[in-house]
Amino acid sequence: MKTSNLYLLLSFFLILSACTPNADDIQNPESEENTETPIAILENLSIPDSFNFETERAVTLSITDATPFVKYEVFAYAENNSTEAENITEALNNLLYSGKPYDGLLNQSFSLSSIYEKVYVLRKDGLEYTSEIITITNNQINFKSSSKTSNKASTASKTNSDACSICTDNFFLNNDFENGPTLPNNFIITDENNVEGWSTTATDNKIELWKSGFNGVPAQNGTYFAELNANQSSALYQRICTSPGAQISWSVWHRGRTGVDKAVVRIGENLATATIEATMQTGTSAWVQYSGTYTVPADQQDTYFIFEAVGSGSVGNFIDNIEIKEIVAGDCTTVQNKMYYPTELTNATIAFEDLWPYAGDYDFNDLVISYNIQTILNAENKVTQLDYNYTVESIGASYTNGFGLELEGVLPSAIESVTGQNLTEGFIQNNANGTEQSQSNAVIIFFDNAHINVGLSNTISIVFKTPITTAALGTAPFNPFLIVNKNRQKEIHLPLKPTTYYPTTTTIATGPTVKDSDGDFKTPTGLPWAINISGAYRAPKEKVLITDGYNYFATWATSGGTNKTDWFLDKSGYRNNDNLK
């Protein structure tokens, strides 16, 4: 009996010691299991209230340059490489704007990806190329040319009210050399800047003028004429406005000085490539006229007319009374300046969740559209046409969703035509010009059934009745939206973007599971239902959170867009490709 009691007592102490925590147990207690779901973690990110998930910003380009015919190209510039030369080579694939100032000024508004803090500006003046890397300050890009030729021939270009190059008058300046230094009785060798309209290829920039009757040589017309060979064998030329396809008649009077002099007439896009249109060989006894017709090639907006001496040193080749006239008008519509978003050769992406105003699965793959926007401008740098080139890349939804675009502040009546729409479901009602009916702004519905558009590339072309400024148009991505499951009154927009005016558009639901009760297209913690990405984007696989496909999405969002602005790029460590489509 005693033995049995002793056994029971020992057993009691063993059990008690097993239940008593030791020092390690007290210092390192087992943590509670984290039951928060990945979606809840995403929904509870600390996102600044002012952040709207924008990957681009509007910038203003301002260029001052009075040089006739000068052309600019502006490229997005990033310092991704070890040398400036490599960075420039990369930038040349990222064209943002191409065109010419109008009346010496260029002011454009456009969208630029937030990954860029600089631009590369390339200036082309004939064969003279200059460039500059400019840091964007306060969303402004400012450039002022200091070209020494900015005041030369400033009135040589003529335009009509539509800013097309129309040159039916004799627009060739100072055709008989009357506008130059006043000569007493003989001749003068003077700087080219003193002779209106004319330039020389002479390395000393000198032009020789004679007065009629000097050494017994009369002018062919008026009081003065020129000698091609001033201090050296050279050419006199003018660079004038032309329209592609125009036919231009030309004529020039030529005369030898001490014998039979030889010169050529060359015409073309620049001094180097201009071709010989005529060869002039004339003696001293009389003036002889040479003439011809030149057709301006496609895309050539200005043309050099060159009168070039062949040999003879510093003596020979008189010319006078040159006439240049457009006898058949060219096609002004081919004279275009252009802007691109995000750049000429890259695409942006817009991705939607379609369960608004309820929480989705945050894979942002219900509708994914890759697109590039080309804005066509006239010579005044006003918008004449918008080409929206797009491909429906992915659909992760069973809904029959549509897609549209609103141009805020642009009246439907401002649109001449819309082409490229694919409307098959019968619930979209359009005006004759392709804009949607009953809208106060121009609204264009691209398609009303995403499923039949998957993988197809298409272009929506929007032509304006009257050219408008880029400031009036607004900047990309404008106001894109998803139409949910053929319900025209339910739209999903980018954060803070308004719904369209469509009658009783988008009634906001109420209830405990509603995540957007005020219609700003943001959850209470700031998450969106739509994101515009200013670059290529691979959608996450179904039910894969965007944070599981893009490692720095959360870093970017919680920083308010200041850190990891390039979160969407395909850089090492940025993507989990196994989680992406």
Give dist(CA 232, CA 189) in Å, integer: 12
User: What is the biggest distance separating any 2 CA atoms in the chain, rounded to whole angstroms?
Assistant: 157
- The average confidence (pLDDT) of the chain is 88
Q: What is the CATH number of domain 187-333?
A: 2.60.120.260
Is the Cβ–Cβ distance between 364 and 539 less than 8 Å? yes
Q: Full-prediction pTM beyond 0.85?
A: no
Where are the domains positioned within the chain? 56-144, 187-333, 337-548
On the question of pLDDT at 136 being above 60, the answer is yes
On the question of pLDDT at 506 being above 80, the answer is no
Best mean pLDDT range from 29-43, 175-189, 232-246, 457-471: 457-471
Name the more confident of 3 and 71: 71
Average pLDDT (52-81) is: 93
Residues contacting 578, CB < 8 A, separation 6+: none
Q: What is the pLDDT of residues 543-567, one digit of tens each?
A: 999 999 999 999 999 999 999 999 9
Look at residues 53, 147, 91, 135 and name the one whose alpha carbon lies nearest to residue 477: 53
Residues contacting 159, CB < 8 A, separation 6+: 165, 166, 241, 379
Is the Cβ–Cβ distance between 317 and 263 less than 8 Å? yes
Beta strands in 206-355 (DSSP E): 206-211, 224-227, 235-241, 247-255, 261-268, 275-282, 288-295, 302-309, 318-328, 337-341, 348-352
Identify the bridge partners of residue 341 per DSSP, sorted by sequence position.
373
The rounded radius of gyration (Å) of the Cα atoms in the chain is 35
Q: What is the pLDDT of residue 146?
A: 67
Least confident of 34-43, 54-63, 549-558: 34-43
- CA of 422: how far to CAs of 18, 463, 479, in Å? 75, 17, 19
CATH 2.30.30 fits 56-144, yes or no: no
Look at residues 112, 67, 110 and name the one whose alpha carbon lies nearest to residue 94: 112
Q: What is the pLDDT of residue 507?
A: 60
On the question of pLDDT at 151 being above 80, the answer is no
Q: What is the pLDDT of residue 21?
A: 45
Q: β-strands 56-64, 105-113: how paired?
A: antiparallel
On the question of pLDDT at 189 being above 70, the answer is yes
Q: What is the pLDDT of residues 221-274, one digit of tens each?
A: 999 999 999 999 999 999 887 888 889 999 999 999 989 999 999 999 888 899
On the question of pLDDT at 371 being above 90, the answer is yes
Give dist(CA 444, CA 419) in Å, integer: 10
Look at residues 477, 468, 478 and name the one whose alpha carbon lies nearest to residue 406: 478
Look at residues 117, 113, 112, 102 and name the one whose alpha carbon lies nearest to residue 62: 102
Is the Cβ–Cβ distance between 388 and 447 less than 8 Å? no
User: Phi-psi category of 453—alpha, beta or left, where left has phi over 0 and alpha has psi -120 to 50?
Assistant: alpha
Write down the H helix ranges in 192-334.
Answer: none
SS3 (DSSP) at 334: helix
SS3 (DSSP) at 122: strand
Q: What is the pLDDT of residues 409-449, one digit of tens each?
A: 999 999 999 999 999 999 999 999 999 999 999 999 999 99
Angle among Cα 29, 31, 36 to the nearest 5 degrees reads 170
Is the Cβ–Cβ distance between 187 and 208 less than 8 Å? yes
Confidence of residue 503 (pLDDT cuts 50, 70, 90): low
The sheet that has 56-64: what strands, in order across it?
A: 105-113, 56-64, 140-144
Q: What is the pLDDT of residues 483-494, one digit of tens each?
A: 999 999 999 999
On the question of pLDDT at 73 being above 80, the answer is yes
Residue 169: phi, psi to the nearest 5?
-85, 175
Confidence of residue 35 (pLDDT cuts 50, 70, 90): low
Kind and range of the H or E run holding 14: helix 2-19
Is the Cβ–Cβ distance between 580 and 538 less than 8 Å? yes
Is the Cβ–Cβ distance between 303 and 267 less than 8 Å? yes
Q: β-strands 140-144, 56-64: how paired?
A: parallel
Confidence of residue 147 (pLDDT cuts 50, 70, 90): low
Confidence of residue 537 (pLDDT cuts 50, 70, 90): very high
Whose tokens are 């989680």? That residue is 579
SS3 (DSSP) at 214: helix
Give dist(CA 565, CA 575) in Å, integer: 14
Q: How far from chain centre, in Å, is Cα 224?
A: 48
Average pLDDT (450-470) is: 96
Domains 56-144 and 187-333 belong to one CATH topology: no
